[in-house]
Each structure stands twice: as C-alpha cells, then as structure tokens.
Structure 1
C-alpha cells in the first residue's frame, strides 16, 4: 500500500519534538518522511521546514533536497526555484567525507526531475544515470532504502527517455518503477508512471490500452492529481488517439483540458503539438501552424535531442503539405531523423508529398527504410506506409502488390480504428482501392471498416465533384496531353492569363495542388481515358 501518513501527522510529530526541545528529532522526522509528501503537499512541507530553527536545517543536504523537490508539487508556482537548493545540497555533500549514499542518490534523482522539467534533458539524464550507478555500486544500504530511491530514479529515467524519444528504454524504466511503486512511490509519482506507460502505448499503436491506463490513473489517485502535470502524458495520448480516430469533438474537448494542465510544464510543447494535430481533421491548417510555432518557441532553449522537436517539425511539414506547399514541406521533413522504430516516421510524409506530386516511384523510394524495418516498424505509423505503398503501386499498375499492402493496412486499421492515415492519399485513389478491397474476401471486422470508410469518403466519383465548364474541360484535356500553358492558349485562341485562370479553377474543383495531381484526377474520373497522350 502507499504510505498512509499525511503532512498533518508529520506536523504533529515535529511539533511534539520541538515542544521537548529535541530539534534533532524534528529534523529527522522531516528527513525520513518528506519523499512521501513532496510531490503532493510541497507548500505545506516548506512551511513546516521553515518553522524549524534555521541553524538546525540550513546546512543539512537532506532538508535542502526536500525543499528543492517540493517545487514539483501539484500547484507549485515555479520550476526553477528548486535549483539553488539542489546546488547548495550538492556543494555540502561534496565538502563532506563519506556522504550517505542514500542522500547522494536521492538528491541526484530529484535534481534530475527538476532539470527535466526545464528541458535540460542531457544534464537530467546524466544525473539520473549517476544516481542509479551509485545505488548499484553500494552494498551498505538496507534493501528498503535502496529500492525506495531506485523507484524514484527509474521513474525519472523513464520520463527523460520519453522526452528523448527512446521509447524502448522508457518502457523498461517505467515498468520497473511501477513494479517498485508499492510502497515506494508517492501517489503523484505513481500517476506520473501510469501516464508515461499510457503514452508509450499510444506510440506503439496500442490505442485501447491508453484508455486502460487513464482508468488506472483515476483509480490510483485524487482527481486533482490526475488532472495535473503528473497525469498530463496520458491525457495528451488520449487527445492524439482521438485525432488518429477522427473524433473531432472529443479531440477539441480534450485539447482544452490538456492545455490547462500542461501550462508551464515540460509537457506543454507536446500538448501544443497534439493540439496542432487537430488541424489535420478540422482543416484549420494555419491555426495548426500557429500552435507548432508556439511549441517551437518553448523548446528553443532546450538541451538535448528532444523528440518533440522532430514531432513539431514533422507537423509543420505535414500542415504545409495540406496547404499545397509541397516543396517547402518536403524540404522540412527530409531534414528530420525518425525516432526509434519510426514511432515518428518522417518518411511517410515525404512519400505522401511525392505521391501528391505525381511521383509514385519516388513515393516508394521514400518508404525503403520503412520496408527494411519490417515488423520492427511502429504499427501506428506503419498504416500510413502501407496505404502509400498500396496507392503508389496501384498508380504504377502493380495491382497485386497494391492489394496486399492495402489489405494489411486494413487489418491494422480494424484493430486501432485509426482514420487520419487516409488523409495522405487522394480521395479518388482511395475510393478505387476501397472498391477493389470490398470485392476481395475479407474478415468480417475488415468489411465493417470498409463500409465506414467508403461512406466517409462520400463515394467520391465523377458526379461528386463540382462540374467542370466546357472551356475547363478543353483546358483539362490539354493538361492531360501535357501541353504547356502557352501551347494551350494558342490552340484554344485565348490568352495565357485566361488559361491560368481556368487551371486554377480546375485545380480547385479537382482538389489538386499541381498539374500532375490534376492529371491523376482526370484519369481517375475517366474523363479522357480514350485519348492517348503524346
């Protein structure tokens, strides 16, 4: 069970010691019990310490560590106020001969948490590593004391690893912290551990487990703690799952809550990234770019290879892609390095951009690293890879390969209920592939997905677009025949500017962003299939 004491009981014990003049006992009470209280009752703990005679605690590194750690408490007004206390405690320990291993490791673990909250990720990781190494080397600590500090250190190692995009290491550390949590983690720390594990389930594509971890958080603690920075990661995961499943109302409601509980925390940039992701399903791409910009401002001074940097740049490129800025989007995304196992996979967006540009062979080339990863590729982003592989091969006439890739994607989709990957493939191409898939023998749960997807696309066909005028049909035919604008103008006896006006209207009506995409739309609609281009 979690420690059953309270700050009130500790206050009573300290008061009794002070009444008898036993100042040493008062300090020892606080030094022994503060780890159970600092993350939930930080302000009260500081007030209790300040009530002790100053000379009895101002040079005690244990009490200074307690004050520093108290600034991570729910409702704490400052993240940086902890650092002077940690620095002073470290200086005092450096000046001591034979400093307690327990005190040294505890200080380093909590100092790492403070640095992590400020985005100083490399320094935080170094401190957490050194705390773990000290505990591993020492043979003098009792098992109870060793395990208590190991639980806190493992928790911080896991959260730092999430920031750095090392999701496999994060999973191992957080599972260890959770295994040691009873009775060694305070309630907010346990909730933080569960939130981290829930977020990792999102990165691996196990969406239903995200909901399980949110439920476990609510069972484990006070709603005020769940709806704080300690539970923030799971709430962000919930928001991202809602986006992936195209649940717009749920996503927008969650975004408001997530923005509130992550404000002025190290998870605020990730929350802004998740909020920007809503733009993919509500179409407000400029608003999404503004959220990304805000997130990038917050992480500008962060230290270390934060995963959220890659995520934000990837989102910026994705939104520019949806705005039709394909060249700029590809330049941004091409510079990104994927995170472990392509949990964040820039290649799928490069492939999507190339497909939209009419370069199906280039689309497949962009996916080669994803193909090499095989089953090691994150299933969450593998759906995008498979859909694009199917679309590109279908466009190139490799229908058997296209059908296999598409059916594999549908199996993933039936398990995760993801919908946003379908935004990477033009609707009419998708409709054709869905129609072919419906004609094949599919499991029952896949057939239900197919029906929903076809209904959601609204049966995109030649009759579902805004009709082209006769003159636009003439221009579209010449585009299909790969004529230049000046050649079209000469053959139709109109000005080049008039041709440009018609082309813009054709692009709008066909939902195309360039000539190659418009030509693909013409072919898919079957408008000029009887004509062979030169």
Structure 2
C-alpha cells in the first residue's frame, strides 16, 4: 500500500479541492483515504469533515461511516459521541435506493471493528457475518476492493474469535489476513494482525512461533510509513502482551 497518500497529503488534497470550489472532489479524497488514517489521526480526519460542506458527504453512507470511525476509541466520551453517527449510517443503509452491496459490506466491517474495541462482540460478529454473506454472493465489486475487504473481515473475525477464546479458529482467520496483509491491509491492521497471531500462538503452546511473530510485528514499527503514533497506539498491544507472556514463562 505504498501508493496511499499520507495524512498530510490528504489534507493538502482536500484544501486544494476546496480552493477550486470543488467540494465533491474534497469529499472524494476523504472517502478514498480515511480508512488509512482514521485510527492514528482521528482528530485530523474529523477536522477535514468540518472543512467540507455537509451537502457533499452527509448522504453518503461510506463517508458518514468514516466520521463515525473517528469516534471508535475506547473512552466513554468516544462511545457516546459515536452513537448519533451510527444511527445516521443505519438510516443511510436503508435508504431508497440503498447503497451498493459492496459499500454496505465495507461499512459493516468497519462497524464491527468499532464494536469489537468496546467489547460488543455479538454485534461485531453479526456485522461480519452479513458482510461475509455479501462478499460471497455479490459479483459487482472490483477484485482489489473485494480482496481488501475480505482481508479486513478475516482480521476482525480473527480478533473477535481470539477475544472469545476460540484460538484455533482465530488463527485460521488471522493467517488469511496476514497472507493478504502486505497488499490489502493498512499498517495499523498489519501490526494488530501479527501481534494477535503471536498471542494466539502462545495460547496454543507454539512458543517459538509466537516469539518469531512478535519480532515480525515489531519490525512494522520501524518500517517505511511507521511513526511515533503507531508505536504509541493500542495496535501494538497484542504483540507486547504476547512478548510479556513469553518473558514470564522464561523466568519460571
């Protein structure tokens, strides 16, 4: 995903479009890039929405989902702030005509990520199941979009299963996500995926595999496109939890 604009590039693109008086182009720039930056730069993404006239994005389920995602942190304030946007997305998903099925699937996958982070595992699983059904039956999506969504879906499903203690099933999903990660997952998701694989490997007694995966996860912290925000983020947590468990075992 080396061709993804940085958040600075995105801000410039939005400002340039607005300077031309093209709010539609500004909204399109946000639509294409928000999944890549919303987890590490939620306030900056939110600020971009504030710059663009609401008429350019407020009837678009994908764009409203992006704004909702800026509030998908774990704090009580974020959870409360996200609720009106979630309701707005629900209304847009039932509009007549409805969004394209692939848009619905994408919205559901991102909703599942937000639900999982605040412990709403049943809701996350329901969203992922519907998204999987869409991806398995709808033919209209471009292949690259379909595969990227399947990679993200596999990651989120694997993380939910890990939370539930279904480690073998979680490993299967996470391995699928990891196999597609380099081309189809954003860096935050790649870090969380490798860390979760390390944690699951530890839980299944595969200590050397867990150790190797911790190392591979940490490599992402120093690679191209990483930065201090990634190193400080919660996406690092699964790898560091696995590392701590391995270290405790080694002292026994």
Decide whether the 8 Å contact of 2:93 with 2:104 is kept in 1: yes
Aligned position for 1:9 = 9
**Closer, same or farther: CA 96–52 of 1 in aligned 2, 3 Å:** same
Moved over 4 A (4+): 72-77
Aligned position for 2:245 = 240
Measured in 1, the distance between the counterparts of 2:200 and 2:219 equals 20
Shift of 1:228: 2.6
Measured in 1, the distance between the counterparts of 2:122 and 2:21 equals 45
Aligned position for 1:139 = 139
Within 5 Å, which residues of 2 pair with 1:71-82?
71-72=71-72, 78-82=78-82
Measured in 1, the distance between the counterparts of 2:234 and 2:156 equals 14
Aligned position for 2:213 = 213
Counterpart of 2:38 in 1: which secondary structure?
coil
Measured in 2, the distance between the counterparts of 1:46 and 1:224 equals 17
Structure ID, larger Rg: 1
Unaligned runs of 5+ in 2: none
Within 5 Å, which residues of 2 pair with 1:160-309?
160-221=160-221, 222=226, 224-245=229-250, 247=251
Decide whether the 8 Å contact of 1:45 with 1:70 is kept in 2: yes
Shift of 1:242: 2.5
Matched, 1:119 2:119: yes
The Cα offsets for residues 372-412 of structure 1, whole Å up to 9 and x where unpaired, read as xxxxxxxxxxxxxxxxxxxxxxxxxxxxxxxxxxxxxxxxx
Measured in 2, the distance between the counterparts of 1:192 and 1:2 equals 19
Shift of 1:243: 2.5
Shift of 1:71: 3.1
Decide whether the 8 Å contact of 1:39 with 1:74 is kept in 2: no
Decide whether the 8 Å contact of 2:65 with 2:89 is kept in 1: yes
Counterpart of 1:205 in 2: which secondary structure?
coil
Q: Across the two proteins, how many residue pairs are aligned to each other?
A: 247
Counterpart of 2:139 in 1: which secondary structure?
coil
Decide whether the 8 Å contact of 2:211 with 2:246 is kept in 1: no
Aligned position for 1:271 = none
**Closer, same or farther: CA 179–3 of 1 in aligned 2, 3 Å:** farther
The Cα offsets for residues 441-495 of structure 1, whole Å up to 9 and x where unpaired, read as xxxxxxxxxxxxxxxxxxxxxxxxxxxxxxxxxxxxxxxxxxxxxxxxxxxxxxx
Measured in 2, the distance between the counterparts of 1:83 and 1:136 equals 29
Measured in 2, the distance between the counterparts of 1:218 and 1:63 equals 32
Shift of 1:87: 2.5
Measured in 1, the distance between the counterparts of 2:73 and 2:120 equals 19
Decide whether the 8 Å contact of 1:112 with 1:124 is kept in 2: yes
Shift of 1:226: 4.0
Measured in 1, the distance between the counterparts of 2:62 and 2:174 equals 25
Shift of 1:175: 0.9
Measured in 2, the distance between the counterparts of 1:80 and 1:133 equals 30
Measured in 2, the distance between the counterparts of 1:187 and 1:82 equals 24
Decide whether the 8 Å contact of 1:83 with 1:114 is kept in 2: no
Q: Which structure carries more relative contact order (alpha carbon 8 Å, separation 6+)? A: 2
Measured in 1, the distance between the counterparts of 2:244 and 2:114 equals 26
The two structures have a TM-score, normalised by structure 2, of 0.90
Unaligned runs of 5+ in 1: 248-418, 420-534
